[in-house]
Structure 1
Amino acid sequence: MPPVLARFYDTPPTETGPGTETWICRAANFVVTVSRVAAGAVLTRDNPDEYVLLSNDLAATVTAGTTGAETIEAAPDSLTIVPPGESRIVARTAGTLARVFSAHATDLAAKAANAADYANGAPLVAPLGEWPAPKGGYRLRTYALADHVTEGSFLRVFRTANLMVNPLVPWAAARDVHKLSPHSHGDFEQASLALESTWIHHLRTPWTADMDDWVDDLHAEIGSPSVTVIPPTIVHTSRNIAPMGRLVDVFAPPRLDFLQQGVVRNADDYPMPA
């Protein structure tokens, strides 16, 4: 399966509503949506499991539960984990927000612009599986991303029971081309959600014994907002070519290597699988 390059900024929205335009892209185990919203716009959802809200450049009031039993204020540049069941997001200011769902959100996966890419499954991708519920039960959890910057690292990794989301510390300048990080993943996809700046994703398909399978390297320039889904085994690295590069990496299920390295900021809230 080739990489997916979803240029939301250059394509019509998948869904529209009062004060909202939403674009949808999927992978085998997760779905990413980006919405441009007016102040006062409302996004509702009755979701089978947790999802992640990235407020990006706007403030929002988030309510969970059938009677609005739990409400939090999500500040700009925050990450909020929304529990299963009914939820309501009210934009307090205009801007762009993103939501990340697991593939259990089958209605969204079916609406994705690239849904046909997964009509025959994704044989190289390990299944989503079932991970334990969070300690103390499901509830709204919100994190100001500015509070989770570690010197010498761009990682700001958070997880739910089914998802792992890494809103990288923004690059204030174009990324140093002498300090890139080409790597690959054996059995899971990575989505790179670009919320600001222009990016080049460098993608290399490994050679096989059959030369007919060889594919030229891809150096894909892409703006924001956009989603790039990178299949297993593809060697990849990314760099912004304009200031203030804001990029979010998405994985599902959560990555065991990140958990074992101790870089997950909310790891204490979520038990490891048996």
Structure 2
Amino acid sequence: MAFDSSDPRAALAKSGTSSIPSRFAGAEYCCFHNVEPTLSDAGSQTWYMRGQNFVVAYSEVKDSLTFSRDQQVDEWVLLVPGSSLAKVSLEWEGEQVVVPGRSIAFVPGGSAHVVAEGSGQVVRLFTTQSSDVAELALNSVSYADAHPNVAPFVPWAEAIDGPRIHIYSLDVPKEDGRFGRIFRCSTFMVNFLDPTVGPRDTSRMSPHTHDDFEQCSLAVEGDYFHHIRWPWGTDKAQWREDDHRHCPSPSMVVIPPPAIHTSQAVGQGVNQLVDIFCPPRIDFSQKAGWVLNAKDYPSEHDSH
């Protein structure tokens, strides 16, 4: 891993894996406005994309969006990244709440109903244990066979106060030594990264790898290049060309392990990425103070 000394990730524990896998998967990209939405009506458009263990449902609401889940198998995520929507109502097992703009909600399995009114973005995250959702993904064919090097999905502990809706504001001030704004539940870890303004300083890039989990980077504002490089093993037939992919928002990339990767903001205005991991990351959890809701979802991996 290569991080600038000012990057909080420079203090992460180094990986203990040194061997190079024999097979690699490619990255999965989607610039949403370049493809037809999976679902569309007069009030909204929704694109579904997936990774090995998760599905992202990205919606642009023009007037209203209604969404229901009956007998959902596990905990899922409702993310409202902006503040332009008039109202987002969430009902779960008879409990009714309003999810404010710039908030993230973790919703237990069971029956849930969402109504978003106004104009703005809504993101939902599900594990691929919900096979009906996974089948909607635009790239579902890519995962007809499991991608190599990704560890199987194993859920983490449920909330300490039992199954209920948990809502957290994304408006958390930046803090020296902490990386982004990280929240987790039993199924996902979501890092709503600190926004940047203007292009990234290319003398302070952050190429790094993950041994056994995918990273999904969802761009909800701004403009990015994603740079990805695969290691060379002994079998030249498995070598891949470097990727340098331009992905204006709204867009997402699923980065496979153990590819070297880094993202470069190139937009002149605000650039906002959301990093998604399923299940949560151990290394981020081990950093004291990084997971902002760790008291609600305690883990054996937390720093004590």
Structure 1: gaps of 5 or more residues: none
Matches of 2:242 and 2:260, distance apart in 1 = 10
Matched ranges for 1:1-274 at <5 A: 1-46=25-70, 47-57=72-82, 58-59=84-85, 60-66=87-93, 69-151=94-176, 153-242=178-267, 243-262=269-288, 263-272=290-299
Q: AA paired with 2:272?
A: R
Structure 1 stretches (4+) deviating beyond 4 angstroms?
A: none
SS in 1 for 2:171: helix
Say whether the 8 Å CA contact 2:48–2:138 is kept in structure 1. yes
The answer as to whether partners of 1:171 and 1:245 remain within 8 angstroms in 2 is: yes
Q: What amino acid sits opposite 1:138 in the alignment?
A: P
Pairwise CA distance, 1:141: 1.4
CA distance, structure 1, for counterparts of residue 100 and residue 282 of structure 2: 29
Could you tell me whether the CA contact under 8 Å between 1:52 and 1:82 is conserved in 2? yes
CA 207–26 in structure 1, closer or farther in 2 if over 3 Å, else same: same
Runs (5+) with no aligned partner, structure 2: 1-24
SS at match of 2:135: helix
Aligned amino acid, residue 49 of structure 2? C
- CA-based RMSD of the aligned residues comes to 1.7
What secondary structure does 2:197 align onto? Answer: coil
Tell whether the 8 Å contact from 1:61 to 1:71 is kept in structure 2 after alignment.
no
CA deviations on 1:126-169 (whole Å, 9 max, x unpaired) are 11113221111121111111125324545111111011111101
C-alpha spacing 1:180/1:156, structure 2 compared with 1 (3 Å):
same
Percent identity at matched positions?
38
Segment of structure 1 superposing worse, 150-159 or 253-262: 150-159
Contact 1:174 1:240 in 2 (8 A): yes
Q: Give the aligned residue type for 2:171.
A: A
Q: TM-score, normalised by structure 1?
A: 0.93
SS in 2 for 1:261: coil
Q: Aligned residue pairs: how many?
A: 272
CA gap 1:130/1:149 in 2 versus in 1, 3 angstroms: same
User: Contact 1:65/1:86 (CA < 8 Å) preserved in 2?
Assistant: yes
